[in-house]
Amino acid sequence: MGFREPTSNIVIRFEQGDELHGLEATVRGMTIGEWLQSTGMDGSEGDNAAGTINRFCSNLLSWNLEDATGQPVPVSEAPNRDQKLIRRLSNAYVQTLMGVHKADPLPDSSTSGENSPAPAIPMAPLSESQAS
């Protein structure tokens, strides 16, 4: 019996107080090849702003977006929606791919970035003879 590769779908949410709070989108993650190409780490130029938006739209799986009449907006309509909305979603997608999107909650066990309990290592400035 082998190990099944996990899906790497990403759920994007926005913090309470954000104008997009309540909007949720599920976006397909990237393969390592796509990641290298999008960042330019494969030797290419990498994605420009338009490429990043196109990549987001093509990887958008679902969202809970409704139009002004309360009707669901199909994900295929993403390229035809408000540019600010799509840029915010795309930026959140990129932030999540790079690490942690700021609306992602930390686990209760997180120290929330507290200082290390280890004492600081004292550092002495280098003299001119040591510096050269």
pLDDT digits (tens, 9 = 90+) for 71-85: 999 999 999 999 999
CA 23 to chain centre: 15
DSSP bridge partners of 10: 27
CA 102 to chain centre: 9
Q: What is the CA radius of gyration of the chain?
A: 21
Q: According to the model, what pLDDT value does residue 9 have?
A: 92
Q: According to the model, what pLDDT value does residue 23 have?
A: 97
Quick one: tokens of 34?
């796509």
Residue 107, helix vs strand vs coil: coil
**Backbone phi, psi, residue 10, to 5°:** -115, 130
HEC string for 38-69: HHCCCCCCCCCHHHHHHHHHHHEEEECCECCC
pLDDT digits (tens, 9 = 90+) for 101-115: 555 555 556 555 555
Q: Provide the mean pLDDT of the chain.
A: 84
Is pLDDT above 60 for 125? yes
Specify the higher pLDDT residue, 67 or 106: 67
Q: Is the pTM of this model over 0.85?
A: no
Is pLDDT above 70 for 119? no
Is pLDDT above 70 for 6? yes
Distance CA 88, CA 56 (A): 11
pLDDT above 70 covers what percent of the chain? Answer: 75
Structural contact between residues 57 and 67, judged by C-beta atoms closer than 8 angstroms: no
Domain coordinates in residue numbering, the chain: 10-102
∠ CA 105-96-59, rounded to 5°: 125
